[in-house]
Amino acid sequence: MNENDLMEKLVSLCKRRGFIFPGSEIYGGLANSWDYGPLGVELKNNIKKLWWKKFVQQRDDMVGIDAALMMNPKVWQASGHISNFSDPLIECKKCHSRFRADTFDQKQCPNCKGTEFTAAKEFNLMFKTFMGPAEEEANIVYFRPETAQAMFVDFPQVLETTRQRIPFGIAQVGKAFRNEITPGNFIFRTREFEQMEIEYFIRESDWQKYFEYWLEQMKSWLSDIGVDASKLHYIDIPDTERAHYSKRTVDIEFDYSFGQKELYGLAYRSNYDLNQHQNASKQDLEYRDPESGEKFLPHVIEPTFGVDRTFLAVLLSAYTEIEGGRSTTTESIKESEVVLKLDRKIAPVKIAVLPLSKKEEVANPARELANKLRKYWYVQYDETGSIGKRYRRQDEIGTPYCVTYDFDSLEDQKVTVRDRDTMLQERVALVDLEKYFKERLED
């Protein structure tokens, strides 16, 4: 399948099935603004919940925070964002379209074919607003461009309240905002996005050990959620291209339909951030070893996971198009069929309950079954269309299991369970159904 065609089909599927909608569409939209629909929010939440479970709840060396989106502007002065967080901007003199100078290698403006551009100038990427009624210099605040700084600023309070000992980490999942010059490629680069991020505090002498450890943890996570390993690349960033605070960075890149681009990042930030905030705030941010009494500023390993890019990589890995379709027990589908082979742990809908008939004697107990299963999993009830078409709808949104309640179920108290990937169907007793799914849908 042509990669451009794949992206067009995926975007269409996302809108048609309720994964992602264009933002503000009834008013003509807002450039590069996207809303996660009923299925999209489930998939996104499942990714975040699984990440939190793996990296926070199941570890004794990790704690979480949920910090404010707006912080004291002195935070961004100390971190270097106000002076350094920028991209070079050029502008077409004919149509005034703007582009990032470091990625623009064309001789003509792609919009108007103009050939004259302004000299490059630095454009700060932070969103600026005002706190309070007066729009004046003293009231300027910024929406955070990353989640990391709150974890450094809150480090002493976290240390005091949790009594953690180094090595330990602080994790956070939340929104960040960057006034990108050229956003695009669906949800790959947006001005409003979500991060899952960890700051792992260590002794300087241990940085290489923990860098390699977290790289393996990130690989394990990608396997957990079903990202295609053949499309992943691990790129060691050279000295001249790393962020100013980083002593080593590995970018985990993915083969998207529009090219090989960054998915995640792993950076050794040394003690740059804590040192900057200690100097600027005049507060003691050092760690005291409770046994030796030694005091020092911890160094930091930072694994960063983009939620939206994870969402996109998962969909691209799961999207499968089967030419000629797949036959069912009742009918054969001639044209191509889309199957979204999402990992069962993150699939938005876990089970679909499909009564074979709309007659009350079948439909009513099927609804009762769906309601019972909803106590544990996200369940859809669907009685519209032929059973083959209903299977196909569930395949297209990645539902791992379909349960068919038929007339025989009234007699033998069993239902037919169909597996999305193997297409195997088996009769399972209603009394065993909860156990059956817990064994297959839960860790």
Q: HSE-up of 387 (CA within 13 Å, CB side)?
A: 19
User: What pLDDT does 107 receive?
Assistant: 87
Residue with tokens 């791992």: 400
Q: What is the pLDDT of residue 242?
A: 87
Are 143 and 177 in contact by the 8 Å Cβ rule? The answer is: yes
pLDDT at 327: 58
C-alpha to C-alpha distances, 236 to 230, 241, 267, 268, 270, nearest whole angstrom: 18, 10, 10, 12, 17
The count of other CB atoms within 10 Å of the CB of residue 316 is 19
Amino acid letter, residue 115:
T
Q: Report the pLDDT value the prediction gives residue 102, as an integer from 0 to 100.
A: 84
101-119 pLDDT, tens digit each:
888 888 899 889 999 999 9
pLDDT digits (tens, 9 = 90+) for 306-320: 999 999 999 999 999
**Mean pLDDT (10-residue bins), the chain, 443 residues:** 82 96 92 94 98 97 97 94 87 90 87 92 88 84 95 96 96 95 88 97 97 98 97 95 88 95 97 96 96 95 98 97 67 75 97 96 97 97 95 97 97 97 96 96 84
**pLDDT recorded at residue 32:** 86
What tens digit of pLDDT does each residue of 333-376 get? 557 899 999 999 999 999 999 999 999 999 999 999 999 999 99
pTM: 0.92
Q: What local confidence, expressed as pLDDT, does residue 306 receive?
A: 97
- What pLDDT does 194 receive? 97
SS3 of residue 294 by DSSP: coil
Which alpha helices (DSSP H) does 225-264 contain, by range?
A: none
Please give the structure tokens belonging to residue 108: 């003509």
